[in-house]
Chain A
């Protein structure tokens, strides 16, 4: 587990070093050069591996099973969401998140069925990056992470804690842990197949489109979290 995290960290950390010396094309995007090549890399990984897997998954796996996979990992994620809502001082949300986990884990057969949403208990999504934002930490520049995709410097710094808070990270043996992550990733990609086609159509400069959309959404997420 530790090694996996270090592996990713070593890929991410050089960013911090590159940061000051980077050529600026767009104000507010000092890492643009690096980010664009990383987007190219991510696209290549997607084309060769992730997208074909996701297409097969969508064709072959029954819908009920796909929903079960999504709900199962979503339920585990709600635990970290609850922690972050509490850290942000949103006790009502945090308590509701915990209720969701309890209800879905018991009545929803280990989280396979999202009974809580059906009962009107809305799903929230929070991570430690948002929590830092609510606490007043500025986002810093846009960062395109290898494989993980769009992020900010602040959110990247928050990642190790997000991994720590990811319950699935504690699963043993490793083979089961990594198979689980693989399944989660493919399921997520499968649900985005139509959407990624649309983005392809809509964007003139896909990098700038993704960046500007992401930065706005992230800021708005934090604003909303503060208001809640």
Chain B
């Protein structure tokens, strides 16, 4: 049942994103930032009646409010597109970032709806904050099974830290999307990738409208 194990891992990975939230823009320790956001989102997800009842729109609101301000989607998209990024026109880049961002938001929202009794634990972070780049490492403890490793790469931009990649059980999100992006681009160019992303998002938006889970 390795399949399932692995599949599960990937999916649970999405839950990882859950662990990012809201704080003011003041200067601070990246680990404290991730900790605060994570705990806030976990608490909200556990207590909010709307989320517990499967209200997709409520979940989207929480993601929008608590997580998005701390994620650098442009960097994320650029890294996932890798060498193809420079082939894209400014307009294409903008569309890619928008669509990729929506896709991730829908996925994370789906993960948040599944939070029940998880607890978080942090391990010492890697890297030196003074150098503007760190990896914050956490684990999600669950009632069943091994702890889920959940790490974040953060970069300092101006006074604030932004998340630009996350690792679920050993797999980096950007690295995992790289292959997907490359195969879509090799089939239909950058526009092909944008089209695939847009269609997927439309489908997910319809599901959210109907208030269904993913």
Chain B residue with the shortest CB-CB distance to A151: B2
Q: CB distance A217 to B169 under 8 Å?
A: yes
Q: CB distance A201 to B110 under 8 Å?
A: yes
Q: CB distance B179 to A209 under 8 Å?
A: yes
Instruction: Flag whether B106 is at the interface (Cβ < 8 A).
Output: yes
- Smallest distance from the beta carbon of B74 to chain A beta carbons, Å? 19
Binds A, one of B9-17, B41-49, B57-65: B9-17
**Residue among A70, A189, A198, A209 making CB contact with B144, cutoff 8 Å:** A70
Instruction: Flag whether B119 is at the interface (Cβ < 8 A).
Output: no
**Residue among A74, A124, A199, A211 making CB contact with B11, cutoff 8 Å:** A199
The complex places the Cα of A124 from the Cα of B147 at a distance, in Å, of 9
Instruction: Flag whether B69 is at the interface (Cβ < 8 A).
Output: no
Interface residues on B, range: 35 or more
- The interface residues of chain A lying within 8 Å CB-to-CB of B144 are 67, 70-71, 191
**Residue among A198, A208, A210 making CB contact with B14, cutoff 8 Å:** A198
**Residue among A74, A195, A212 making CB contact with B8, cutoff 8 Å:** A195
The complex places the Cα of A116 from the Cα of B14 at a distance, in Å, of 28
- The interface residues of chain A lying within 8 Å CB-to-CB of B176 are 209, 212-213, 216
Mask: chain B, 183-214; 1 = CB below 8 Å from A; 0 = not? 11000000001001100100010000000011
Interface size on A, residues (CB 8 A): 48
Q: CB distance A200 to B180 under 8 Å?
A: no
Q: CB distance B4 to A205 under 8 Å?
A: no
Q: CB distance B7 to A199 under 8 Å?
A: yes
Q: CB distance B178 to A192 under 8 Å?
A: no
- The interface residues of chain B lying within 8 Å CB-to-CB of A65 are none
Chain A residue with the shortest CB-CB distance to B106: A201
- The interface residues of chain A lying within 8 Å CB-to-CB of B71 are none
Q: CB distance A212 to B171 under 8 Å?
A: yes
**Residue among A188, A202, A216, A224 making CB contact with B107, cutoff 8 Å:** A202
**Residue among A192, A200, A204, A210 making CB contact with B197, cutoff 8 Å:** A204
- The interface residues of chain B lying within 8 Å CB-to-CB of A221 are 170
Q: CB distance A197 to B110 under 8 Å?
A: yes
Q: CB distance B11 to A198 under 8 Å?
A: yes
Instruction: Flag whether B5 is at the interface (Cβ < 8 A).
Output: yes
Chain A, 86-125, CB within 8 A of any chain B CB: 122-125
Q: CB distance A213 to B10 under 8 Å?
A: yes
- The interface residues of chain B lying within 8 Å CB-to-CB of A213 are 6, 9-10, 13, 171, 176
Mask: chain A, 143-183; 1 = CB below 8 Å from B; 0 = not? 00101111100000000000000000000000000000000
- The interface residues of chain A lying within 8 Å CB-to-CB of B103 are 201-202
- Smallest distance from the beta carbon of B209 to chain A beta carbons, Å? 15
* B residues at A contact (CB < 8 Å): 1-14, 103, 106-107, 110-111, 114, 143-147, 167, 169-172, 175-181, 183-184, 193, 196-197, 200, 204, 213-214
* Beyond A196-B7, A201-B204, A213-B176, 17 additional pairs, beta carbon < 8 A: A67-B144, A148-B3, A150-B3, A188-B1, A188-B4, A195-B11, A195-B12, A195-B14, A197-B214, A198-B11, A199-B10, A200-B214, A204-B181, A204-B184, A205-B184, A213-B13, A216-B175
A-B contact pairs, 6 of them (CB 8 A): A26-B183, A122-B147, A148-B2, A204-B180, A210-B7, A217-B169
